[in-house]
Amino acid sequence: MKKISIFALITSIFFSAYSVANEVNVFNARHYKADGELYSKFTNMTGIKVNLINGKSGALEKRIISEGADSSADLYITADAGRCGAMDAKGTLQGGLTSAAIKAAVPKSFRTSKWVGIAKRARIIYYSPERVTGAELSGMTYEGLADPKWKGRLVIRKSSNIYNKSLVASLIKNNGKVATAAWAEGVVSNMARTPTGNDRAQIMAVAAGEADIAVANTYYLALMLSGKKGAEQQEAAKKVKAFFPNQNDRGTHMNVSCAALVKGAPNKANAIKLVEFLLTPQSQEHFTNNTFEFPMIDGVSPSPLVVNNLGLDFKQDMKTKLASYGKNQAAAVEVMTAAGWK
């Protein structure tokens, strides 16, 4: 009886270890049904089960931090390099995303050893072609959003929005905190209304004539044009045009959806394999065709909706390392708050 018990214990331990070795736990803050389909493909190809723990970024981050060494998280996947950078600053991530496949796929400015971009997006300007002239936009930059000529004509999200935090953090990196503080005051004075709503709400405000220009991420226009958000938003998207700022200097501000390797990940090797899979052509095509983001890797085309309405021929900011978004996040919040950016 004792031998049987020992045998059963050993068998239990073996299968437990086998189970752990063939799974990966993803704390996922990206809320796309298409992502789940992609993880299923990974499981079918590798036999590694993907356990998805879905939630909002803030809640998932608090859980990872509070659980500490006891966390089951292997990867934290979210939309914005600033979030991954902030998690790194809190000591919750570890190095390891340095395989040859990852380095070959992702440019240096879009990755660190602890987190890497898996899909790109740009934060750009949308404008009304009826009320904004080509001359007004000629040579337009993010810095130009503070120009008094835009007084009462600009809409943009709240200062608490992570996309804005990262944009302002990049401006601090490039122009310094003092200059960016003055810029933030100019932006606030140019707002057509108190910040409200998501990125799509900013585009709709321009379409409705409430403002002439808006700041929003690229994929939102394609999402609206796709009809997935209803006929009203589809028609609104047709009334605006896209403009890529800073084409005459560093290039347009870029950001990413990122995958971060959590410290103490129980399935680290599998987590790395999953990241490598997300950077393959088939995965990148899945992202571009379902979420309308730009591909991270070369050789993959964006969705036709993106190509036809946003274009491909624009200069991306490859100079500003995305790691600076997390490092300058606190300073970004400080300058926006001081400027009265709600």
Same domain? 247 vs 277: no
Domain limits at 334? 122-253+322-338
Q: Which of 30-39, 182-191, 205-214, 229-238 has the weakest average pLDDT? A: 30-39
Q: What integer pLDDT is reported at residue 31 of this predicted model?
A: 84
Cβ(20)–Cβ(266) below 8 Å: yes
Mean pLDDT score, 117-123: 98
> Is 315 part of any domain?
no
> Is 278 part of any domain?
yes
Mean pLDDT score, 306-318: 92
Question: How does residue 99 score in pLDDT terms, banded at 50, 70 and 90?
Answer: very high
Same domain? 128 vs 241: yes
Q: Which of 303, 280, 328, 13 is nearest to 177 (CA)?
A: 328
User: Domain tally for the chain?
Assistant: 2
Mean pLDDT score, 202-214: 98
Q: How far apart are CA 285 and CA 293, in angstroms?
A: 10
Question: How does residue 21 score in pLDDT terms, banded at 50, 70 and 90?
Answer: low
Same domain? 81 vs 153: no
> Is 305 part of any domain?
no
> Is 127 part of any domain?
yes
Residue 209, by phi and psi: left (phi above 0), alpha (psi -120 to 50) or beta? left
> Is 307 part of any domain?
no
Report which DSSP code applies to 274.
H
Same domain? 116 vs 128: no
Same domain? 327 vs 179: yes
Same domain? 151 vs 243: yes
How crowded is the C-beta side of 21, counted as CA atoms within 13 Å? Answer: 6
For residue 224, is pLDDT > 90? yes
Same domain? 246 vs 259: no
Same domain? 184 vs 329: yes
Model pLDDT for residues 313-322, shown as the tens digit of each residue: 899 999 999 9
Cβ(335)–Cβ(184) below 8 Å: yes
Same domain? 174 vs 267: no
Cβ(342)–Cβ(187) below 8 Å: no
Same domain? 6 vs 134: no
Same domain? 186 vs 327: yes
> Is 112 part of any domain?
yes
* CATH number for position 144: 3.40.190.10
The CA-based dihedral angle spanning residues 49, 51, 31, 76, taken in that order and rounded to the nearest 10 degrees: -110
pTM for the predicted model, two decimal places: 0.92
For residue 342, is pLDDT > 60? yes
Q: What integer pLDDT is reported at residue 274 of this predicted model?
A: 98
> Is 317 part of any domain?
no
For residue 10, is pLDDT > 60? no
Mean pLDDT score, 203-227: 97
Q: How far apart are CA 133 and CA 237, in angstroms?
A: 18
> Is 33 part of any domain?
yes
267 burial type by CB count under 10 A (0-12 exposed, 13-18 middle, 19+ buried) = buried
Same domain? 210 vs 234: yes
Q: Which of 189, 231, 192 is nearest to 214 (CA)?
A: 192
CA 15 to chain centre: 38
Phi, psi of 115 (to 5 degrees): -150, 150
Provide the token pair at 21.
């070795």
Q: How far apart are CA 79 and CA 94, in angstroms?
A: 19
